[in-house]
Structure 1
Amino acid sequence: MPSAAKNLTRRALRITQTAAYPLYLFALRADEVLQIADISRVSRDEAGNLIGYQRPEVRRHVEEIAQYLNTDSAVFPNPIIVALSSRARFQSSRGPGAGDGLATAGNLIIPLPAPGKPKPAWIVDGQQRALAMARTERRDYPVPVTAFVADSVNLQRDQFLRVNNTRPLPRGLVTELLPEVDSPLPPRLAIRRAPSALCDVLNTDKNSPMHGLIKRASTSRGGTTRAVITDTVVVEMIQESLTQSSGCLFPYRDMSRNETDFDGVLHALFTYWTAVRDTFPDAWGKHPSKSRLMHGAGIRAMGRLMDRVLGSVDPRLPNAGNLIRQHLALVAPHCHWTSGVWEELGLRWNEVENLHKHIQELSSYLIRVYLNARAELS
């Protein structure tokens, strides 16, 4: 692109699926894609708010695409999907052949960014391809592009999740983005939205026993971090308790109105997991390689024990914390989070893995010890 140009003009088709968000089909040269479009990396700002939505670059994948594009026989039919700023303009062509009732031909005028200024587009799908385009030797390689106008990051996230719903996105990335999407989602994703939002509060609220301990897709890969618990494990723990009738969090849901008492759920989670932290201080907050309590199997098993304990102790009671600690004290002597052997399981403490079999066996053991100890007291 000439540096003196203020706009990039491309022949395009406009398809109006909804008046609010027109859709454009056009082509760019390989070296133009990242000149007009940014990649919105998922991260957190200083206030802890979620920004962006894209996963990190997969270097090997990018290199493989670039190598393929350098070949003479490269065919790349999959379009890159971008969200365009509302500053982009479309001028319809004149004449009877400009439209057929489905699409309208014309020119799409995209303003070029001044140095240091935001670009007019964001990549919603195809970031690895876009990165490869920027590195290919074939700078003029034509790239198909599908674009919709959206200044809202929420709409961009919504489209990002829908486009990637059937692809192998990292589960942690999908999990963290779900609470930020306001529009209706497919049932498979919608059922995880509330647990993910609760997981987020557990991680960001300074009064939470898990504050700063949960690893999310936006967790910084560099520097020091306290995060040791995988977020998907916490989400699964909450989801299981919320959706199963035997779960202690299930009563907080109003099935007829499809509503959840979030404050009540958070209070129950804060109260129980604070008691867990206080009961096992030497195992709390450590890396899973040093404490299986912080491991997927430990969180899931203690979550299932939570369903039993909070089935007996109302977390809304003024002394609920002390009562829960008394109940957890019944199983504490039988736990081997950081050393020793789970003899009943036939496993050393660090041989417990985040496998369905191990989660089931560990959960059953803790619940059995708890129920037997309570029966002896009574």
Structure 2
Amino acid sequence: MQADGVAVYSFFLPGADLLQVAEISRIHRDADRGGLRGFQRREIRDHVRSITAFLDSAPSVLFPNAVLLAVTPRASFVRSRGEKPAGEVRAAEAGTLYLPKPSAEGEPKAAWVIDGQQRCLALAQARNRALPVPVVAFASEDLALHRQQFILVNKAKPLSSRLIDELLPEIAGDLPRDLAPRRVPSALCDQLNMDPASPFHGIVRRPSDPGNGGPGRPSAGAGVVIDSALLTLIRSSISSPLGALAPYKGSGDRPTDADAMYRVLLAFWSAVRDTFPEAWGLPPGRSRLMHSAGLLSMGCLMDRIMSRAGGSGEPRRFAREALGRIAPYCHWTEGHWAEIGLGWNEVENTSRDVRALSDHLARLDHQATFARAVA
């Protein structure tokens, strides 16, 4: 019992049975008076499909996430008889909960989903219809209380995308379809940050970083590159058919070759550091090369240059020579990008600025490569 005599129950149900006993009360307005009804948001179909795909990904999956229901006070609870178990904490009673069934089609069900509607919808579609799902329920038909609990459960800020990305490489098991493709880029980002041979060694800001580099990291310039920019350029290169990392993406029975991806990243970004030493490792306010806009634009250039470096035998040298030909026209720490009408410190992480700078770097590379080929 909680609050002023509100019964709270904890039990298991087969996942496919949840929506047979519980309603999803969606928020809407009366057509006549405009009064507010329900409280649940609309179904998020991509989310439901992702959960269903995870539930169907293996014969047996771990799915301990409890669904929160409100049940009618007409539900009856019968305590179990017999000897109490040793060490029992008298916070609850064991027994059987009986939920009334609708006597006719269209009558209200005995429960309402407070939290977990997307999971309930996915469980109803999953192949394993007998998967036992934990349920916590409180006895109340008071819509105001339902809404209060719905808001309290959902008001918390969701996990940041950056925190999820940093945790993904540490998870060995199966992941939902929307998370699995993010594991390899995050592992590559970790490797770039932790490998002493990497130009990014110790200068990538991740959620676990206390802010000043952390133990064992260099104090000068530590944490100047935000991980989200690196993750974005890596993902883009993997997913684009013309990306430099795309040839090493897993397909069918062929696994992803993360080692080959890392060698490409190491060769190109080492060449970037070699070509622009005066701009490397500085805070973004002093070097737009280390700014998200600069990193994303150079990521597009990486795809162009490293896609041509395959037969060179020395990809780092190849990238350094290609970058050297455009270096005189780059303005990372001073000057003005005349062709795109921006000063060096006016380039921001907006889609317009990133696209303009990416296109300009691509034109410089094309012009330098074409002139060399003609010569």
TM-score, with normalisation over the residues of structure 2?
0.58
Match status 1:351 vs 2:341: no
Call closer, same or farther: CA 1:308–1:20 in 2, change over 3 Å.
Answer: closer
Call closer, same or farther: CA 1:282–1:372 in 2, change over 3 Å.
Answer: same
Q: CA deviation at 1:96?
A: 9.0
Call closer, same or farther: CA 1:95–1:338 in 2, change over 3 Å.
Answer: closer
Aligned residue in 1 for 2:363: 368
RMSD: 3.7
Aligned residue in 2 for 1:93: 94
Percent identity, aligned pairs only, is: 39
1:285-324 residue CA offsets vs partner (Å, 9 max, x unmatched): 110000000011111111111111111112882x332222
Alpha-carbon contact 1:342-1:348 (below 8 Å) kept: yes
1:34-91 residue CA offsets vs partner (Å, 9 max, x unmatched): xxxxxxxxxxxxxxxxxxxxxxxxxxxxxxxxxxxxxxxxxxxxxxxxxxxxxx9999
Call closer, same or farther: CA 1:21–1:252 in 2, change over 3 Å.
Answer: closer
In structure 2, which of residues 265, 273, 278 is the aligned counterpart of residue 277 of structure 1? 273
Equivalent residue letter for 2:187: A
Equivalent residue letter for 2:305: V
The residue correspondences of 1:224-263 to structure 2 (distance < 5 A) are: 226-257=222-253, 259-263=255-259
Q: Structure 1: how far apart are the matches of 2:362 and 2:62?
A: 54
Match status 1:297 vs 2:293: yes
Gaps of 5+ in 1: 1-9, 27-87, 101-162
The residue correspondences of 1:160-179 to structure 2 (distance < 5 A) are: 168-179=158-169
Aligned residue in 1 for 2:319: 324
Q: Structure 2: how far apart are the matches of 1:22 and 1:168?
A: 19
Call closer, same or farther: CA 1:185–1:343 in 2, change over 3 Å.
Answer: same
Q: Structure 1: how far apart are the matches of 2:12 and 2:225?
A: 46
Match status 1:266 vs 2:262: yes
Call closer, same or farther: CA 1:89–1:297 in 2, change over 3 Å.
Answer: farther
1:9-54 residue CA offsets vs partner (Å, 9 max, x unmatched): x98545687897767799xxxxxxxxxxxxxxxxxxxxxxxxxxxx
Match status 1:181 vs 2:171: yes
Q: Structure 1: how far apart are the matches of 2:189 and 2:286?
A: 23
Call closer, same or farther: CA 1:13–1:176 in 2, change over 3 Å.
Answer: same
SS of the residue aligned with 1:192?
Answer: helix
Q: Structure 1: how far apart are the matches of 2:297 and 2:61?
A: 50
Call closer, same or farther: CA 1:167–1:188 in 2, change over 3 Å.
Answer: farther
The residue correspondences of 1:33-52 to structure 2 (distance < 5 A) are: none
Alpha-carbon contact 2:212-2:223 (below 8 Å) kept: no
Q: Structure 2: how far apart are the matches of 1:235 and 1:267?
A: 16
Alpha-carbon contact 2:312-2:318 (below 8 Å) kept: no
The residue correspondences of 1:99-118 to structure 2 (distance < 5 A) are: none
Gaps of 5+ in 2: 1-7, 16-59, 69-88, 102-152, 214-219
Which of the two has higher C-alpha Rg?
2
Q: CA deviation at 1:170?
A: 2.4
Q: Structure 2: how far apart are the matches of 1:233 and 1:190?
A: 19
1:237-260 residue CA offsets vs partner (Å, 9 max, x unmatched): 001111110001111123223621
Alpha-carbon contact 1:271-1:315 (below 8 Å) kept: no
1:143-195 residue CA offsets vs partner (Å, 9 max, x unmatched): xxxxxxxxxxxxxxxxxxxx99x965322212212222334333332222211
Call closer, same or farther: CA 1:222–1:282 in 2, change over 3 Å.
Answer: closer
Alpha-carbon contact 1:179-1:196 (below 8 Å) kept: yes
Equivalent residue letter for 1:364: D
Q: Structure 1: how far apart are the matches of 2:195 and 2:266?
A: 10
The residue correspondences of 1:332-347 to structure 2 (distance < 5 A) are: 332-347=327-342
Call closer, same or farther: CA 1:168–1:214 in 2, change over 3 Å.
Answer: same
Q: Structure 2: how far apart are the matches of 1:225 and 1:92?
A: 59
Q: Structure 2: how far apart are the matches of 1:95 and 1:258?
A: 51
Aligned residue in 2 for 1:313: 309
Which structure dedicates a bigger proportion of its chain to strand? 1
Call closer, same or farther: CA 1:170–1:377 in 2, change over 3 Å.
Answer: same
Equivalent residue letter for 2:255: E
Equivalent residue letter for 1:266: Y
Alpha-carbon contact 1:13-1:24 (below 8 Å) kept: no
Call closer, same or farther: CA 1:89–1:13 in 2, change over 3 Å.
Answer: farther
TM-score, with normalisation over the residues of structure 1?
0.57
SS of the residue aligned with 2:307?
Answer: coil
Equivalent residue letter for 1:359: V
Call closer, same or farther: CA 1:95–1:15 in 2, change over 3 Å.
Answer: closer
Call closer, same or farther: CA 1:357–1:92 in 2, change over 3 Å.
Answer: same
Alpha-carbon contact 2:221-2:281 (below 8 Å) kept: no
